[in-house]
Amino acid sequence: MKMDYDELPQRYRGGMQRYFEHGIMPGEFLSCVLRNELYETYRVADDKSLEALSLVMTWLVTEPPAQAWGHPTRVQNWCRARRDDREQYNPGAPSPRAT
């Protein structure tokens, strides 16, 4: 699965790429967006995040697979599957952490 992260605002590209490619949860704002938690998204967002929300949502609707976001269970399953992939191809390696 090859996604074009260039349509996202620069400040969110790394977090989204780590999430979709490696199952590493991004920061609080993007995590809330991915889980489709509207109230929490607005609660944790700064002004720049609120300005970018429509761009992030448009990107989510057009780029990544629907089974990877939109509900807490989907997000949890996506991360678990990516973690299992990492462990399968690199057993015993420490799990990468979001920065």
pLDDT, tens digit, 9 for 90 and up, residues 32-79: 999 999 999 999 999 999 999 999 999 999 999 999 999 999 999 999
pLDDT at 84: 77
pLDDT at 73: 98
Say how many Å lie between the first and final Cα of the chain, rounded.
Answer: 23
pLDDT at 99: 40
pLDDT at 95: 54
List Cβ neighbours of 31 (8 Å cut-off, separation of 6 or more).
25, 75
pLDDT at 85: 73
DSSP class of residue 5 equals G
Determine the Cα–Cα distance for residues 48 and 72; give it in Å rounded to an integer. 24
pLDDT at 96: 53
pLDDT in tens, 76-97: 999 999 987 776 666 565 555 5
Domain boundaries, the chain: 15-88
Residue 30: pLDDT above 90?
A: yes
